[in-house]
Amino acid sequence: MIFVNVVSIYFFVMIVAVVYACAHIRTLNDSQYAHTSVLLCFAVCFYIIGYSMELNSEGVAQILFWNRLEYVGIPFISALWLAVGLMYTGHYNRHRHALFAAIYAVPFLTLIFRLTNKYHHLYLSSIDFVREYGTLRLVKEPGIWMYVQAVHSTVMIFITMSLLLHYSIQMEEAVRDKVRLIVAASLFSVTGLALAMMKPFGLHIDYMALCLPIAGILVSVAILRYDFLEAKSTARSRVFESDRNAIVLMNQYHRIIDYNKNAKCLFDRLNVTVTRMPINKMFPHIPQMLKGLLSTETGVIQLPIDGEKRYYEFSTKKIDVARGQQGQIKTIRDVTETTLLNKNLRRQAMMDELSGLSNRRAFIQIGQKRIQKSETSGCAMYLLMMDLDYFKRVNDRYGHQMGDRVVQAFGRILKKIFSEGHLIARIGGEEFAVLLSGCDSGLVCAYAEEVRKHMEQLDFSCEEETFCVTVSVGVARKDIAGQTLDSLMRAADQALYRSKDRGRNCVTVNEGSADDAVN
């Protein structure tokens, strides 16, 4: 009788511990992960309470009642434990329906067969009662389905152990301690199951019920000390279940431990298979994705999706608990339309629509930066200022529509002659400018002369009348330290005025105090 009392106290303490763990998990959030863990706690409680009451019952009917109650929990413990392991290692969502059937079919049938055993004896071939330690004991002879259920439970536990061991191998030492506790808990469960089937020492005791609370203690330590549930469940409660963006949960070691369906869709479109490897090994061929995941600052990253360039905003939310940072929630939002719209607006704000060249604002902003950069690089800078000759006469005689055609044609000439690296702009009605770097004076003069000749040779027609428009060019070189874009423009303007004084349709170079007429 003393033995029964000691075991009952042991069970009582374990039930309190399990209920506490259940309450702790339930307060974390409302996610499926937490729900499964709570169901596991309930299954353990039904089992331990039922067996404790069975030990303390004297009547046959009472013993049988409590024994049946145990099976609300017994067959589901290993199944729910496997489900928790699959969710923790990130495998459950990938084949959810198939896994649900494979995991829970046998437990549900076990419950049904145990409750209806007297009609078919598939679960228990026979039952008897003996007196042991002063109390009545239920002696059960296993039927064929009990062996099926035992094999199923053993397989479930070993699969869980394998998953966690494989996960542990890839983790850092701090994470391995946590997983080792969970594996140890699984070993205690397997030991209890084996002892229950072998019945050593001739005692009619449910060894599984004795070993299971010890496994529960180890799991509780993993929860409370190593945060087995909190980082992942806290993340889910915040954003996983409701956010329409791609959500990725990373631990403090930069390994992806969970993600939502939108993230999976993004990974599939990138042809990436998520594993437990560090992300720097998962995305070697997509450095932009790696950059977005590693950065803690919010930023927009361009990714190649289905053969097109799309833009994604990466933002980070840290998961902090009392013991320090446990990981990061990465929110990945498709901002392609917004980004392209903003780029288009910026382009329009910096672009002259008529000529297709940069406008005066863009020329000043970009030009000033290039001038400043040349101060440190020592690179030679040249500025061409160009003015379409007698352009007002074209507008007055042929109309502004013809004047627009002339501007467009001259814009095409400039884009044809100068490369994209040069800053080409329309800075006024008939005024144009080109800022060049990395060229010598001979090449700059050749460029200017080529522009002049192309324009001179271009014919325009209006109402059966053909005419041409020429261009005057002034060239200046930045050769003084600290010289600004404004002073360089004044120097080029001076050369341009000289070209007009000389009759237009020519190029004049202003290099310091030296003036040189090219044509």
463 among known catalytic residues: no
Q: Return the axis-axis angle of helices 32-55 and 207-226, rounded to nearest 10°.
A: 150
**How far is it, in rounded angstroms, from Cα 193 to Cα 187?**
10
| CA gap 306, 303 in Å, rounded | 10
Q: What is the dihedral of CA 163, 164, 169, 173, to 10 degrees?
A: 170
Structure token digits, residue 508? 């004049």
Q: Which residue carries 């239920």 as its tokens?
A: 138
- Point out the catalytic residue in the list 141, 308, 430, 463: 430
Calpha distance 153→190 (Å, rounded): 9
The Cα 301–Cα 270 span in angstroms is: 14
What is the four-CA torsion angle of 12, 13, 17, 18, rounded to 10 degrees?
Answer: -30
Distance, CA of 101 to CA of 97 (rounded, Å): 6
User: Is there a contact between 213 and 45 (Cβ–Cβ < 8 Å)?
Assistant: no
Read off the DSSP letter of residue 286: -
**At residue 50, what are phi and psi to the nearest 5 degrees?**
-60, -45
Provide the 10 A C-beta neighbour count for residue 369.
Answer: 12
Estimate to the nearest angstrom the gap between the alpha carbon of 109 and the chain centroid. 41
Instruction: Please name the residues in contact with 178: beta carbons below 8 A apart, sequence gap of 6 or more.
Output: 222, 225, 226, 227, 228
Q: Report residue 438 CA to chain centroid gap.
A: 42
Distance (Å, rounded) from C-alpha 374 to C-alpha 377?
Answer: 5
Among 324, 424, 339, 439, residue whose Cα is nearest residue 384: 424
Cα-based angle 418, 420, 426 (whole degrees, multiple of 5): 70
Tell me the sheet residues that pair with 132. Answer: 135
**H helix count then E strand count, the chain:** 19, 15
| Closest-CA residue to 118 (of 58, 67, 152, 47) | 67
All residues at 6 or more sequence positions from 119 whose CB lies less than 8 Å from its CB, including other chains: none
Report the alpha-carbon distance of residue 237 to residue 239 in Å, rounded. Answer: 6
Q: Among 331, 302, 348, which Cα is nearest to 243's? A: 331
Q: Tokens representing 207?
A: 């060894």
CA separation for the pair 491, 485 (Å, rounded): 10
Helix, strand, coil percentages, rounded to 5, for the chain: 60, 20, 20
- Just list the catalytic residues: 430
